[in-house]
Structure 1
Amino acid sequence: MKALLLICHGSRTKAGTEKALEFAKRCMGASDYPIKEVCFLELSAPDISKGIEACVRQGAASICAIPVLLLTAAHAKKDIPEEIRLQQERYPNVEISYGKPFGVHDSLSHLLWERITESVDTFHKNAVILLVGRGSSDPDVKRDLNAIAANLQKNYEVPRVETCFLTAAQPSFEEMLRLSGWGYQQIIVVPYLLFPGILLSGMKKAIAQQQKQSDQNFILCEALGYHPVLQDVLLTRIEEAETKSAVV
């Protein structure tokens, strides 16, 4: 039998874990795999070894493992593949294919535009959109977030779009908040995060602090959350992984 294993990042909070599980299960509902399991890279249980074990225990002869991560960085390129290779040695008769994160996909710009227009009634002529990623030392993260920002600007007549990061990459979110010297009157902050949580709470505090020192209009949009667009992209990544016969 064929199995689908969705690998979420994991969260320090119970609410974060529950949101990830809900998201994964709703996405899995659109697939026809007879065996479907969810596991986590870190911070939450079950881990990847337990996820694969659960698939094998139910009779899986092949497993399609998909990282439920927004961008491609060390987790997707190194940490998860290494763990899967260990499990492949443990179950040599089970074929494991490994897919890609959401990454760069043109339809993601439509989801971003929806989140923006939910929060913004009128765009000021001197407006800027800040697309804020989690961040990583991996240069692919910066490249991909810039590509996603470019797709947003290409598909919609939006003001200037800038990218920044919450950690481990430049420019930082705090630096980009201090844009008063650039002449922007409206700063639309779009968190490129799957779910609200600790990181989004930190963004809210930083914006509130900057608002005290400025007469600019700061608008914070919602996190991406579960959305049919994300489900469709995930199903595309599953279809791509089905053509692979080995871990990449």
Structure 2
Amino acid sequence: MEAVLYVSHGSRIAAARHEAARFVEQCRRAIDIPIQELCFVELAEPDIVTGVDRCVAQGATRVIVVPLLLLSAGHAKHDIPAALDIARRRHPSVDILCGAPFGVHEAMIDIMIDRISEQSAPLDGESMILLVGRGSSDPDTKRDMSAIAALLKEKTNVPHVDVCFLAAIRPTLDEGLERAHASAYRRVFVVPYLLFTGVLMKTIERRLQGFSVSDKQWHLCSYLGDHPRLVLLIQQQVLSLSSVKKGA
């Protein structure tokens, strides 16, 4: 019997955990697999190994692990594989397959454009986008965010898309906001490249308050959230992993 185990980042903020649970509920309705559980990499329970335990306790002989992560950084490359190694040793007869983060994907660009359009402000030659990433010491993070920014610029035809990060690498959020403030653009669309709310989203909101008195029009867009395109991406990933033969 198959199971799907969704792995969210985790947050100390209850609203973020609840959003992850609501999003997984949407995925459950779209995916015809009887056992579906949610777990977290950190900061919340259950953890990944416990998530696998719960799937196996319900009769799962194959667990399809779906990381609810935007990019392939430390959690996807190290933390999740390490936890799954423990789970495989605990359940040697269970086939455990792991998917990939969303990565650089056109659907993610479309979701950001939807979030920008919710602002009901013109995205024109007097506008720029400030794309705010989580940040990671993994060098792939900066490369992937640059690729995402390039795709976003191409698809929106906006004159300029800048990138900044909330942690680990530069430019920082404050540096990104200062550069946008010093630019010639009248409107700045701040686009958080975050899946759910949490401490980082609140940090963006707090920092942006310091610039609200300027003569620029600042538009803070929503994080990506439970967009139907994300559900479709997960559905496609689960179907692809479900078709993999054991031992392949």
Q: Would you call these one fold, judging by a TM-score over 0.5?
A: yes
Percent identity between matched residues is 42
Give, as a single letter, the amino acid of the residue that structure 1 aligns with 2:201.
L
Residues in 2 aligned to 1:94 and 1:197: alpha-carbon distance in whole angstroms: 34
User: 1:151–1:170: structure 2 CA closer, same or farther, 3 Å change rule?
Assistant: same
Q: Is the 8 A contact 1:97 1:245 kept in 2?
A: no
Deviation at 1:124, TM superposition (A): 5.0
Tell me the equivalent position of 1:19: 19
Give 1:158-197 correspondences, 5 Å limit: 158-179=158-179, 180-197=181-198
Q: Is the 8 A contact 1:61 1:93 kept in 2?
A: yes
Q: Is the 8 A contact 2:186 2:216 kept in 1?
A: yes
Give 1:64-103 correspondences, 5 Å limit: 64-103=64-103
Q: Is the 8 A contact 1:120 1:219 kept in 2?
A: no
Please state whether the residue corresponding to 1:71 is helix, strand or coil. Answer: coil
TM-score in terms of structure 2 length: 0.93
Tell me the equivalent position of 1:140: 140
Give 1:203-214 correspondences, 5 Å limit: 203-212=204-213, 214=214
Please state whether the residue corresponding to 1:178 is helix, strand or coil. Answer: helix
Tell me the equivalent position of 1:219: 219
Residues in 1 aligned to 2:217 and 2:38: alpha-carbon distance in whole angstroms: 41
The CA RMSD measured in Å over matched residues stands at 1.8
Residues in 1 aligned to 2:192 and 2:112: alpha-carbon distance in whole angstroms: 9
Deviation at 1:110, TM superposition (A): 1.1
Deviation at 1:163, TM superposition (A): 1.3
Please state whether the residue corresponding to 2:106 is helix, strand or coil. Answer: coil
TM-score in terms of structure 1 length: 0.93
1:12-50 CA distance string (max 9 Å, x none): 022211111111121122111121111111111111111
Q: Is the 8 A contact 2:3 2:55 kept in 1?
A: yes
Deviation at 1:59, TM superposition (A): 1.0
Tell me the equivalent position of 1:129: 129
1:67-113 CA distance string (max 9 Å, x none): 11111110011001001011101111001001101111111111111
Structure 1 unmatched ranges of 5 or more: none
Say yes or no: does 1:43 pair with 2:46: no
Give, as a single letter, the amino acid of the residue that structure 2 aligns with 1:87.
A
Residues in 1 aligned to 2:239 and 2:73: alpha-carbon distance in whole angstroms: 21
Task: Count residues in correspondence.
Answer: 246
